[in-house]
Structures are given as C-alpha cells and as structure tokens.
C-alpha cells in the first residue's frame, strides 16, 4: 500500500458514520491503557451517534481496566462469527499488531487507521497518524473537538485513562502543555483522578507482587553499567501465578535504576518465542532497535519479538542494545 498523508478529521468521521452496518473497532494485541481507552472512546462515540459496533481483541482486557465504562463490550476474536466492511484501528502501528482480528475484515473493506506511533506504516485505506501526539486518546480528543463532538463523562474517563497511561502519569517527555490542557478539560467532566491513577498505574495484584519478587531475582546489569534487564521464563511465570500481561509490572525496575539508560524485559511465550519490551531514559532510540527485529514503538518505549530460545534471544538483543548504548555515550 502506498504511503499517503493523513485524511482530515471530517473525512475520517464521515467514513465511520457512512457505514450502515456494524463498525468494527480494534486495537493492538496485549492492549494497554491507551489502546483500551481509545477503542472504548470510539465505541461510545458510535453509540451516541446511533451506530452499531463491535470492539474486538485477540487478548482479554487486563483486569486493571475493569472500571472503564463499556469494558464489557470487548469481545475476543475467536468468539466473533461475522465479517465487517468498516474497521477503525486505534493505537496500532501496523497490521501485524492487530493479530487475528484482521480475519474479521470482509474481502472488500475500508480500514481506518488512527494512531500516534512513529513507526506507523500507514496501513489503512484512510489514515490519521499524528506521531507527535502523546497518545492515541489525544488524537481522538483533537478529532472530537475539531468536529464538534461533545465529550461526556464516560468518554472523558476513557480519554483521560489513555493520556495518563501513555504519559506515565504526566511524567514522560511527551507531557506537553497541550496534554495538560486536554486533561484539565476532561477532568472538568467530573471524575476522581486518583481512582484512575490508582487502577491504571499503581494497584498490583498479589500475583503481580509475587512476580516482582521472583522477577527481580533475575535482574542483570550489563557490563557497560547502562543496561538492566529482567528475564521471565514460563516457569517463573507459573511459579508467580501471574499472567503474561502482568509481566509489565517489572519494567519500571529496569530503567528506573540510577545510571541505567536502557531497561529490557524479556518474557518467554508458551511456544518458546520471546517477547521483548524496551525502555530508554535519555539517549538511545529503542524504536529503531525494535524495528531491526520486526517490532516498533516510540523512541523511549518499544517492543519486538524474537524466535527464542530465551537465552539466545537475550544475548542477541543485549548485543544490539549494547552497541547502541556505546554509540550514544561515545
């Protein structure tokens, strides 16, 4: 597909509202706060516009998002029997990250890609990709404002959740004046900010705490002293009682170590392949590292997959990261 520029907000809205049948809303697999918030904000908009919809993901929505309005509308891909001709994909950088939801696309379909990842390859028939936006929820906020769509309390909670998640609680460098203005506007719809911060960023299950305890015993600091990583094998995951999604709780313990530039979380999948999450502090572009391994993401937060076995994948990835760190601190 040819790389094209963005469609206008109105073109995107018109295309979505033009569908007489159900609109399919999808987001990336292993959905995070921005993906879930954006997908649900989109379906709330559709509901208010009197449109029918389905919101689908391969994976379950992590339980920390149970409080979000409309979360029970989410269906798993395998439980959906029909196909759709209008699809809105939010917070997803490429088709691969949509997982098996692409099997729900009708032979003749229109795919609308709304995202903020720098690595987004404009896979949609229509695209609204704003790489400078701090969250897909901010892209939706801008679109709703520009097209005169009222934001009610539910949509405000959803957009705030995505913004809070993707800015790390207004801490990352993508915490712009605009995002604070947007957050202030959303907060004026009346909800408790602590309730959302607690659920989205802070609260841990017992299994997650057990995973932290066991996971930290695998923490290694690379010779250069600027790379820290944690390795979660299937066995360790079983011992903790936690699920694969829970492993994210280990990430902050890698990059947060003082002096560390790149934090890495390796997790073994049941099939032996390895999922990798990368975070950098100041200088290393981890999106470009992830891209070398067929993944993607942002400069400070990215991910990719390796074939395994896990010991080999760790060596492979850390070698590339170490070279990038050496260059960055040369």
Q: Which of 298, 294, 325, 299 has the alpha carbon at shortest distance from 221?
A: 325
The b/e string for 32-69 (b: 16+ C-beta within 10 A; e otherwise) is bbbbbbbbbbbbbbbeeeebebbbbbbbebbebbeebb
Q: Which of 156, 108, 116, 141 has the alpha carbon at shortest distance from 27?
A: 116
- Interface residue with Mn ion, options 34, 94, 246, 268 (CB under 5 A): 34
| Token output for 101 | 């939801």
The b/e string for 137-176 (b: 16+ C-beta within 10 A; e otherwise) is bbbbbbbbeeeebebeebbbbbbbbbbbbbbbbeeeebbe
Task: Show Cβ contacts of residue 18 under 8 Å, excluding neighbours closer than 6 positions.
Answer: 86
Asked whether 138 and 1 are in contact (CB, 8 A), the reply is no
- The interface region with Mn ion, picked from 56-64, 91-99, 248-256, 289-297 by CB under 5 A, is 91-99
Q: Least distance in Å: CB of 146 to Mn ion?
A: 20
Residue among 38 and 274 whose Cβ is closer to Mn ion? 38
- Interface residue with Mn ion, options 19, 91, 94, 268 (CB under 5 A): 91
Residue among 176 and 205 whose Cβ is closer to Mn ion? 176
- The interface region with Mn ion, picked from 74-82, 95-103, 131-139, 194-202 by CB under 5 A, is 131-139
Q: Tell me the residue length of the chain.
A: 330
- The interface region with Mn ion, picked from 30-38, 174-182, 243-251, 312-320 by CB under 5 A, is 30-38
Residue among 44 and 226 whose Cβ is closer to Mn ion? 44
- Interface residue with Mn ion, options 94, 166, 261, 268 (CB under 5 A): 166
Q: Least distance in Å: CB of 220 to Mn ion?
A: 29
Q: Least distance in Å: CB of 158 to Mn ion?
A: 13
Q: Does 268 bind Mn ion (CB under 5 A)?
A: no
Residue among 161 and 240 whose Cβ is closer to Mn ion? 161
Q: Does 118 bind Mn ion (CB under 5 A)?
A: no
Q: What are phi and psi of 269, to 5 degrees?
A: -90, 165
Residue number with the smallest Cβ distance to Mn ion: 34
- The interface region with Mn ion, picked from 68-76, 119-127, 130-138, 143-151 by CB under 5 A, is 130-138
Q: Least distance in Å: CB of 116 to Mn ion?
A: 6
Alpha-carbon distance of 37 to 263, in angstroms, equals 26
Q: Does 19 bind Mn ion (CB under 5 A)?
A: no
Total residues in contact with Mn ion, by rule CB under 5 A: 4
Alpha-carbon distance of 92 to 98, in angstroms, equals 7
- The residues that touch Mn ion, with contacts defined as CB under 5 A, are 34, 91, 136, 166
């Amino acid at each position: 597909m040819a790389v094209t520029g963005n469609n206008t907000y109105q073109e995107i809205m018109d295309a979505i509202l033009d569908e007489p049948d159900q609109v399919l809303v999808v987001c990336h697999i292993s959905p995070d706060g921005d993906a879930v918030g954006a997908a649900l904000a989109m379906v709330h908009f559709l509901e208010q516009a009197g449109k029918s919809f389905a919101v689908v993901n391969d994976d379950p929505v992590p339980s920390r998002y149970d409080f979000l309005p409309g979360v029970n509308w989410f269906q798993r891909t395998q439980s959906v029997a029909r196909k759709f001709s209008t699809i809105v994909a939010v917070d997803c950088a490429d088709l691969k990250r949509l997982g098996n939801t692409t099997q729900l696309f009708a032979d003749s379909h229109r795919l609308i890609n709304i995202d903020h990842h720098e690595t987004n390859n404009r896979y949609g028939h229509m695209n609204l990709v704003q790489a400078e936006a701090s969250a897909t929820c901010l892209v939706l906020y801008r679109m709703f404002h520009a097209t005169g769509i009222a934001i009610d309390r539910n949509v405000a909670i959803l957009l705030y959740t995505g913004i809070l998640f993707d800015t790390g609680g207004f801490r990352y460098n993508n915490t712009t004046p605009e995002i604070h203005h947007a957050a202030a506007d959303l907060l004026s719809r009346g909800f408790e900010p602590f309730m959302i911060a607690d659920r989205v960023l802070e609260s841990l299950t017992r299994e997650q705490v057990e995973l932290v305890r066991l996971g930290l015993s695998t923490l290694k600091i690379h010779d250069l002293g600027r790379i820290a990583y944690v390795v979660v094998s299937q066995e360790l995951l079983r011992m903790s009682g936690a699920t694969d999604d829970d492993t994210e709780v280990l990430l902050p313990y890698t990059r947060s170590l003082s002096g560390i530039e790149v934090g890495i979380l390796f997790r073994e999948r049941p099939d032996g392949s390895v999922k990798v999450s990368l975070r950098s502090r100041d200088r290393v572009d981890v999106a470009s590292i992830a891209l070398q391994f067929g993944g993607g993401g942002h400069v400070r937060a990215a991910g990719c997959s390796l074939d395994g076995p896990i010991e080999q994948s760790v060596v492979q990835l850390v070698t590339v990261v170490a070279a990038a760190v050496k260059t960055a601190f040369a």
